[in-house]
Amino acid sequence: MKFPKLDTENLKKENSAQVPMIERREFLRMGLIITGVFAGGTILSAVPHMNKVFASSRETAGKYPYKPHYSMVIRQDRCIDCERCLEACIITNDVPDYGYRTAILQREVPDAVGQKREFIPVLCNQCNNPPCVRACPVKATYKDKQTGIVMMDYTKCIGCKVCVMACPYNARYFNEERHSIDKCNFCFDTRLSKGESLTACAAACPAGVRVFGDLSDPGSNVYGLVHQIEKPVWVLRPEVGAKPNVFYMKG
């Protein structure tokens, strides 16, 4: 009997360096899930959100072209729907009763264990890739070069409402008194430009739901919340690709 001669000199090594990255991730994920089960489910609950964490905050992390790069983190589970933020917005920005710049959506999960209802504050997401700005025919809405806030020039707006159609977040309405589309501008004209550091809604919130600040400043609260990876951070409708500057998290 003849055995084939093995070329032992040039045999491929079969150590862990040959395992593809995807296999490693799968293994790691499996490990995380198993550990999660034994750790009382706390880690388990984070696992399904791992993708979201990286999809949202990682994507924009470190890329903040504006100075200050205004941003808001909404700690969703803290909201109790007291609506003080809405009231403050209406008073500060002279918002008529038929419109709103910010709202609180309610979501109900009837088959949930324990708490069945949650509140989701929404406002203009001041997107980095704003669909409304691209669509406006006369540059009446634009991305402010310094702060990144999506602003309105009330005198230019022709009222075609294409920006309302373009917005994935329903953040715009036509204001009759101003003869123009109106929207949240992080209180730029009413507060920030006058030296205030918070928007009216953030200042009014008793539960610290709305954390407002400069995302390009590593010392700011928003930076800390967006850049941590222990708790999931997400954005609304990420599939649109508008790259919002309003982030959501729990805890």
Partner 1 sequence: MPDDSKSLRVSEIVKDVTRSFDSTVATTWYSNILEFLSGSRSFYVLLILSGILIFTSAMSGVYAMNMGYRHAYGVTREISWGILISTYIFFVVTSTGLCIVSSIGHVFGVRDFMPIAKRTVFLAIVTILAGFTVIFFDVENPLRMAVYNAISPNLTSNIWWMGTLYGAYMVFMIVEFILLLLGSHKYAMYSGLLGLLSGIAAHSNLGAIFGMLHGREYWYGPYMPIYFIASAMASGCAAIIFFTYLGYKVNNEMMDKPMERSLEAVARLCTLMVAVIIFFTAWKIITGLVAAPGKVEAIKAMLSGPYSLNFWVFEVLAGMVAPFFLLLRSRGKNINMMFIASALMITGIFIMRYDLVVVGQIVPSHHELGVIDSPSLLPYSPSLYEIMIVLGGMGIVAVSFLIGERIFKGHKSEVH
Instruction: Please report, as residue ranges, which positions from 29 to 68 form the binding site for partner 1 (by CB under 8 A).
Output: none
Work out how close the CB of 1 gets to partner 1 at its nearest, in angstroms, rounded to a whole number.
59
Q: Can you tell me the distance from the alpha carbon of 215 to that of 213, in angstroms, rounded to the nearest whole number?
A: 6
Q: Least distance (Å) from partner 1 to the CB of residue 122?
A: 7
Nearer to partner 1, 26 or 153 (CB): 153
Residue (7 or 239) nearer to partner 1, CB: 239
First-last CA distance in the chain: 70
Calpha distance 213→219 (Å, rounded): 10
In this structure, the strands spanning 70-75 and 246-249 are parallel
Q: Give the one residue of 157, 192, 235, 246 binding partner 1; rule: CB under 8 A.
A: 157
Work out whether 174 is an interface residue with partner 1 (CB under 8 A): yes
23 vs 153 by CB, closer to partner 1: 153
Q: How far is Cα 240 from Cα 188, in angstroms, rounded to an integer? A: 26
Please name the helix (run of DSSP H) or strand (run of DSSP E) that holds residue 120, with its range, or none.
Answer: strand 117-122
Residues 219-248 close enough to bind partner 1 by CB under 8 A: 236-237, 239-242
Q: Which one of 63-71, 164-172, 185-193, 218-226 is the stretch in contact with partner 1 (CB under 8 A)? A: 164-172
158: contact with partner 1 by CB under 8 A: yes
Distance CA 204, CA 199 (A): 9
Could you say which of 55, 135, 190, 217 contacts partner 1 (CB under 8 A)? 135
Using the rule CB under 8 A, which residue among 164, 189, 196, 243 binds partner 1? 164
Q: Cα separations (Å) of 160 from 91, 129, 156, 174?
A: 27, 21, 11, 10
Q: Where are the alpha helices (DSSP H) in the chain?
A: 21-38, 42-46, 50-53, 59-60, 84-93, 131-135, 162-166, 200-204, 221-227
Phi then psi for 44, rounded to 5 degrees? -55, -45
Q: How many residues bind partner 1 (CB under 8 A)?
A: 43
Of the pair 67, 179, the CB lying nearest partner 1 is at 179
Stretch binding partner 1 (CB under 8 A), from 49-57, 158-166, 187-195, 219-227: 158-166
**128 vs 216 by CB, closer to partner 1:** 128
Rounded (5°) CA angle 96-99-104? 120
Under rule CB under 8 A, residue 2 binds partner 1:
no
| Interactions with partner 1, residue window 95-124 (CB under 8 A) | 98-99, 105-109, 120, 122
Q: Can you tell me which of 139, 194, 195, 218 binds partner 1, judged by CB under 8 A?
A: 139
For residues 163 and 191, give the distance between their C-alpha atoms in angstroms, rounded to a whole number: 25
- CB closer to partner 1 out of 211 and 242: 242
Q: Which of 44, 55, 166, 203 binds partner 1 (CB under 8 A)?
A: 166
- Cβ of 72: how many Cβ atoms within 10 Å? 27
